[in-house]
Structure 1
Amino acid sequence: MNLITFTQTEDFSQFVEVWSQFYDYNSPWEPNYNKHIKIGKPFTHNDIIKLFEWENQAGLGRIRAGAIKDKIYPEIDYVNDMKFEESIDINEYNNKFITVPAVSRTFLLHIIKPEVYPLYDLNVHIAYNFIHDIDSKLHPFPVRPEDKIKFYFRKLMPFIESVRGNYSLKKVDEALNSFGQLIKRNPKFKI
């Protein structure tokens, strides 16, 4: 059995402390996050692109950059308004960005409210499955956008909120992401 049990927030705290050490803080894309997250300030179009480059850990290419310009730029006033609202109406948000891929939609939520909405990608999904002793072959990273959104809101967010303690969601992601990368590279890894 490879279940990691978090009986207290302190247990997850140790997980975050250990696994966040393996996060690649030297990535050439890492400065984009801190420079462009702009907590308390409106985003520019450039901030949005630079943050998506950080998420992708690479340049976006013409097609992805074009999709961001077509699907997110026209809503930059809405995005900036949501930064200053107490909460986001998720149904309205999902309807407004229905054509944006699910992981990009959750990423956009994160950059709007980085202390409310966690990051979500394949590595985080793999880490979540491992922590919960879920066979990733039986429950892989969802293909359908609505399944990704459902997993994000019904499973990932409640889990992280229940164990994160005082850590920023970025720090939690660094640990989950690093751990997920290890599992992805070593599927037979056991603790």
Structure 2
Amino acid sequence: MNLPTLNNQFENSLKLFIDKWSKLYSFSNKAIYSKSIVKEIFTKTDIQNLYNWKNGMKLSVLKQKSLDTKIITKLPIINAYKKSDTIELEAFKIEFKKVPAVWKIFLLHIIKPSKYPIYDQHIHRAFLYIHNGAWSNVRNTMSNKAKEEFYFEKYLPFIESQNIKDIKQLDEAFFAFGQFLNSQFYSVLSE
């Protein structure tokens, strides 16, 4: 399969890029995500399942404590946001200011999955690559502030400007491509 990389000319081939790279997406327990994300009202179990899915496994004791105290305790607020037509982002950021960036952005995604894409280092890396940025410097050790600045000031405006119909498919394409960039396979091809 000939896979586009979008470097320099992504405007003309974004749809093709998404179609091709999303087919290479692989993440465990996709059914858990699919079953919970469509709910109109979340239960504690739905939130738990979604964060276990995002984590790729059951949460560690510390992550579970963080989920319980910083997110699940605010389930009524989360469901109020879910019922609302829009989310006032500054109020959301204040309400969930103690939540780490990746989890905060994921919460935003699960509340409004057709508006807010998922964020992680692979998606960040893919975005920077197609925009000729310093993609090889992206690591999970970046500060929460840097992650949020990237997401809200660069990535989200880009997504909104593209009028993408299937945000999850875009997430899958960028995730797969970002993983590829971080793999030994990319380094072999770039020599």
TM-score normalised by L of structure 2 = 0.88
1:38 CA displacement: 2.6
> In the comparison of the two structures, how many residue pairs are matched?
183
Structure 2 equivalent of residue 6 of structure 1: 10
Matches within 5 A, 1:76-115: 76-115=75-114
1:91 CA displacement: 1.2
1:142 CA displacement: 6.8
| Aligned-CA RMSD value | 1.9
Preserved contact between residue 22 and residue 175 of structure 1 (Cα < 8 Å): yes
Preserved contact between residue 142 and residue 148 of structure 1 (Cα < 8 Å): no
Q: Which amino acid aligns with 1:180?
A: G
Provide the C-alpha distance between the structure 2 equivalents of 1:143 and 1:103, rounded to a whole number of angstroms: 11
Structure 2 equivalent of residue 134 of structure 1: 133
Structure 1 equivalent of residue 18 of structure 2: 16
Relative to 1, partners in 2 of residues 1:141 and 1:155: Cα closer, same or farther, differing over 3 Å? farther
1:141 CA displacement: 5.8
Deviation beyond 3 Å, 4+ runs, structure 1? 137-142, 186-190
Q: Which runs of 5+ in 2 are unaligned?
A: 1-5
Matches within 5 A, 1:158-173: 158-166=157-165, 168-173=166-171
Provide the C-alpha distance between the structure 1 equivalents of 2:139 and 2:61, rounded to a whole number of angstroms: 29
Q: Which amino acid aligns with 1:38?
A: V
Sequence identity, in percent?
Answer: 33
Q: Which runs of 5+ in 1 are unaligned?
A: none
Preserved contact between residue 121 and residue 138 of structure 2 (Cα < 8 Å): no
Provide the C-alpha distance between the structure 1 equivalents of 2:163 and 2:140, rounded to a whole number of angstroms: 22
1:140 CA displacement: 5.5
Structure 2 equivalent of residue 34 of structure 1: 34
Structure 2 equivalent of residue 182 of structure 1: 180
Q: Which amino acid aligns with 1:3?
A: N
Preserved contact between residue 124 and residue 138 of structure 2 (Cα < 8 Å): no
